[in-house]
Structure 1
Amino acid sequence: MDLLEYQVKEWFREIGIPVLPSQRIDHPTDLKRLKIRYPIVLKSQVHAGERVKAGGVRVVETTIDAIAAAQTIFNLPIWGELPEVLLAESKYDGQQEVYLAVVLDTAVCRPVLLGCKEADIDWETAGERMQHVVVKQEFSPFYARRLALKMGLQGTLMQSVSSVLEKMYQLFVQKDLDLVEVNPLAINAAGQVMALNGKVSINERAMNRHPDIAEMAAKIADGHSRHNGNLRDWNGLGKQRKIGILGNGTGSIMATCDLVVSAGGKPGNCLNLRHAFVTDTSPTTFCDRLAKGLNILAADTSTQVILINLLGSIPQAEELAEVIAKFVQNDNSDNGSRIRQESAFPRLVVRLAGSDFNVAKNFLATLKTQDDTLIMVEDLDEAVAQAVRIAKSGVYNKV
């Protein structure tokens, strides 16, 4: 579970990580009672990235401009998500920005400190510039200083960055987190550091040890439910439902999601089948995760289309067709038809790219379904176009 920025900043403030004066904005009129001085930065509070490119971050200098900007941002969906809250924050003049993170490396089962002297990271080539230190024993300030030195920092700046890293690690352990990220940590002309943005990912298996976090998770889930309801009326697209995406890689999922947005569709849940789900307590196969992913998306009443985009090679490629066929045949059964009348089964648009999938493609091409429940497509652009067309047509009206 990922927190929103304003929630992350509250935790940062409590642990002693430097953050700017800020105020939560639930409605544009709240800006009439703003307690921080202009100029300010208004930030959309959504889980999606690329807020700046989408127009979800605005710098304003007067109350009138702030209210107008807030009205725009509240009605601006980013990757299909509308904000329920904005964050108003003081503007900061940074001369330099760095990236810091504490992450749980499941390969070595140890926390790892990450740092880069560039905050705007190109993750395709990040390995060339990203420095790391594995925390092999009980944590001490030595680990933080070692990372700062590997990043090429010196003097008081090294001490300031090390101090932030120590507090990030303290938060990481206290809250049982998978990730604590500061991106960017800005440095002004006087050498002072400030966490301008942050990300926190909570380990869901550890949530029962933290009643306060469990309560926060319940509120987030309730907010998503109300958020989905609000989206039904957005821009007259009430009949257009979301497109759930299943893929076997982060890059392919992000590319598919971008294409859906570009084609005028609304992405829903996106599940990466390459890795186990956080709720899995025992080893799983790819086909196990495919079956579970299909059921998760089908259970979401906002999902009208499931777009499956699998690339390259996977284990159990031949069994993949059986999983999809079983899912579709359950829809075509008497029980499935009844369920579909009550809650509307989503359609499947399937694109399989790679010679390993030839057997699966041939089998699925012969599968007979009702109402074109399953559509096989060779080209990704065509698959996206088909999914968006079905979602906009409102063929199935979910309850």
Structure 2
Amino acid sequence: MDLLEYQVKEWFGQIGIPVLPSQRIDHPTDLKRLKIPYPVVLKSQVHSGGRLKAGGVRFVETTIDAIAAAQNIFNLPIGGDLPEVLLAEAKYDIEQELYLAVVLDTALCRPILLGCPEANIDWESVGEKMQHVVVEQDFSPFYARRLALKMGLQGALIQAVSSVIEKMYDLFIEKDLDLIEINPLGINSTGQVMALNGSVRVNERAIARHPDIALMATKMVNRYNGNCRHQNLSDWDGVELNGKIGILGNGAGSVLATMDLVSNAGGKPGICLNLRHASPIEPSPTTFRSRLEKALLIMAADKSIQVILINLLGSIPQASEVAEVIIDFVNQQKSELQPLTSSSNGSKNKRDKQSLIPRLVIRLAGSDFDIAKKELAGLKCDIAIEVVDNLDEAVNEAVGFVKTAASKK
């Protein structure tokens, strides 16, 4: 979960990292009550990069100019994202800019301190300019000073920058972060350092341990769901597209790979959900079974979904119960549709059910699913269920059904 700049600056201020006087702006008229002396800079609060080039950062000298600029920024999409909040911040005259970061290296399973004597760096050509220090044991100020020296800093600047790095690391550990970044750290003519922009990425699996972060995450989810067709998709690691093939998987990689295969085969993915984890902000524990049950109901509730493509592989808890969940789902859908089709003749009844209930294409890979595959393969019902071993075959089956259904209309 990535935070917006104004949220990052609040954390910086609380832990003692130097930040400029600033004020959150929810509406252009808030600038009439601005407590920061002019000149100020107005910044669009979006997750997308390139705000300055896109026009999302404006320097203003008066209240009239500030209100006019704010109105423009509020209506300026950056990377497809419109800001709901602006940040008004005091102007700062700098003579030097640095880059600092603390990041979790998943290969080493250790935090790494990063520093560069230049800000706004081009990662493809940064080369030897970027310095790093691996925090191999319990953290001490030694690591921060070592990075400052490797960056070529001298005199009082070593202590000033080292102090910022120490506090960044403290925040990194305290909040269970994957990344904390200051880009740039500004230095003025007197040697004073100032965090002019910051980024923070929270480890999603740690959100539940921090009530304040969980509250922030809930607000973000609610804001996103205001424009979402399915309010309960906030409980999932997934995406909502506009195709007719719903995808369920037990891993982000398998879900993305299945989406790519569907697209390459000429199909269009719809709702795509990763069942491996529950929502990071879900307060109550969940099981794989409960997540599969809920996901199937979400798919069935979306009448645009014609096929549910289930791709499960590897080892999962409650693998033997997968068939039971799917069979219960099919029986529930049949019973709910029975009153709607009871007045039709037998053949018409069968066609109605097949058009109203999504077709199930199921690919189960792994010995854990042997029992489930046998039960599903022997299932006899008037709702189409295809159980296949090969993912390519499953994708072709799903895409082919949608194309056939479209040609009959």
Q: Which TM-score band applies after superposition, normalised by the shorter structure?
A: 0.5 to 0.7
User: What is the match of residue 222 of structure 1?
Assistant: 222
What is the rounded CA distance, in whole Å, between the counterparts of 1:115 and 1:168 in structure 2?
12
Is 1:133 aligned to residue 133 of structure 2?
yes
Residue pairs, 1:258-277, within 5 angstroms? none
Q: CA-to-partner distance for each residue in 1:293-328, whole Å, 9 max, x for gaps?
A: xx99x97x99x99xxxxxxxxxxxxxxxxxxxxxxx
Deviation at 1:278, TM superposition (A): 10
User: What is the match of residue 48 of structure 2?
Assistant: 48
CA distance 1:175–1:64, shift in 2 (3 Å): same
Q: Which secondary structure state, in structure 2, belongs to the residue aligned with residue 23 of structure 1? A: strand
What is the rounded CA distance, in whole Å, between the counterparts of 1:8 and 1:58 in structure 2?
20
Deviation at 1:362, TM superposition (A): 11
CA distance 1:112–1:75, shift in 2 (3 Å): same
Residue pairs, 1:187-226, within 5 angstroms? 187-226=187-226
What is the rounded CA distance, in whole Å, between the counterparts of 2:192 and 2:116 in structure 1?
18
What is the rounded CA distance, in whole Å, between the counterparts of 1:136 and 1:269 in structure 2?
42
Any conservation in 2 of the 1:204–1:278 contact (CA below 8 Å)?
A: no
CA distance 1:11–1:278, shift in 2 (3 Å): farther
Q: Which secondary structure state, in structure 2, belongs to the residue aligned with residue 72 of structure 1? A: helix
Deviation at 1:196, TM superposition (A): 0.6
CA distance 1:59–1:277, shift in 2 (3 Å): farther
CA distance 1:368–1:243, shift in 2 (3 Å): closer
Counterpart of 2:402, as a letter, is Q
Deviation at 1:224, TM superposition (A): 2.3
Deviation at 1:123, TM superposition (A): 1.3
What is the rounded CA distance, in whole Å, between the counterparts of 2:401 and 2:66 in structure 1?
53
Q: Which secondary structure state, in structure 2, belongs to the residue aligned with residue 53 of structure 1? A: helix
Q: Which secondary structure state, in structure 1, belongs to the residue aligned with residue 76 of structure 2? A: coil
Deviation at 1:128, TM superposition (A): 3.0
Any conservation in 2 of the 1:42–1:88 contact (CA below 8 Å)?
A: yes
CA distance 1:23–1:35, shift in 2 (3 Å): same
CA distance 1:55–1:135, shift in 2 (3 Å): same
What is the rounded CA distance, in whole Å, between the counterparts of 1:373 and 1:153 in structure 2?
68
Deviation at 1:158, TM superposition (A): 1.3
Counterpart of 1:173, as a letter, is I
What is the rounded CA distance, in whole Å, between the counterparts of 2:87 and 2:354 in structure 1?
45
- Gaps of at least 5 residues in structure 2 are 230-239, 254-269, 281-291, 306-350, 359-389
Q: Which secondary structure state, in structure 2, belongs to the residue aligned with residue 199 of structure 1? A: strand
TM-score by length of 1: 0.62
Counterpart of 2:77, as a letter, is P
Deviation at 1:166, TM superposition (A): 0.4
Is 1:368 aligned to residue 400 of structure 2?
yes
Q: CA-to-partner distance for each residue in 1:240-288, whole Å, 9 max, x for gaps?
A: x9789x9x99xxxxxxxxxxxxxxxxxx9999x9xx99979xxxxxxxx
What is the rounded CA distance, in whole Å, between the counterparts of 1:87 and 1:73 in structure 2?
11
Length, aligned pairs only: 287
**What is the alpha-carbon root mean square deviation over aligned residues?**
4.1
Q: Which secondary structure state, in structure 2, belongs to the residue aligned with residue 212 of structure 1? A: helix
Counterpart of 2:86, as a letter, is L
Is 1:150 aligned to residue 150 of structure 2?
yes
Deviation at 1:49, TM superposition (A): 1.1
Any conservation in 2 of the 1:205–1:278 contact (CA below 8 Å)?
A: no
- Gaps of at least 5 residues in structure 1 are 230-240, 250-267, 281-291, 306-332, 341-358, 375-399
Deviation at 1:108, TM superposition (A): 0.9
Residue pairs, 1:241-260, within 5 angstroms? none
What is the rounded CA distance, in whole Å, between the counterparts of 1:148 and 1:269 in structure 2?
48
Residue pairs, 1:47-126, within 5 angstroms? 47-126=47-126
Which one has a bigger Cα radius of gyration?
A: 2
Q: Which has the higher contact order (CA 8 A, sep 6+)?
A: 1
Counterpart of 1:5, as a letter, is E
Q: CA-to-partner distance for each residue in 1:112-161, whole Å, 9 max, x for gaps?
A: 10001111111112343211000011111000000000011111111111
Q: Which secondary structure state, in structure 2, belongs to the residue aligned with residue 368 of structure 1? A: helix
What is the rounded CA distance, in whole Å, between the counterparts of 1:96 and 1:243 in structure 2?
48
What is the rounded CA distance, in whole Å, between the counterparts of 2:139 and 2:402 in structure 1?
59
What is the rounded CA distance, in whole Å, between the counterparts of 2:195 and 2:272 in structure 1?
29
CA distance 1:204–1:31, shift in 2 (3 Å): same
What is the rounded CA distance, in whole Å, between the counterparts of 2:25 and 2:34 in structure 1?
9
What is the rounded CA distance, in whole Å, between the counterparts of 1:365 and 1:92 in structure 2?
59
What is the rounded CA distance, in whole Å, between the counterparts of 1:207 and 1:28 in structure 2?
32
Is 1:21 aligned to residue 21 of structure 2?
yes
What is the rounded CA distance, in whole Å, between the counterparts of 1:48 and 1:211 in structure 2?
26
What is the rounded CA distance, in whole Å, between the counterparts of 1:220 and 1:91 in structure 2?
29
Deviation at 1:205, TM superposition (A): 1.3
User: What is the match of residue 262 of structure 1?
Assistant: none
What is the rounded CA distance, in whole Å, between the counterparts of 1:217 and 1:15 in structure 2?
21
Q: CA-to-partner distance for each residue in 1:64-100, whole Å, 9 max, x for gaps?
A: 1111111111111111111111101111111111110
Deviation at 1:179, TM superposition (A): 0.9
CA distance 1:360–1:219, shift in 2 (3 Å): closer
User: What is the match of residue 252 of structure 1?
Assistant: none
CA distance 1:226–1:363, shift in 2 (3 Å): closer
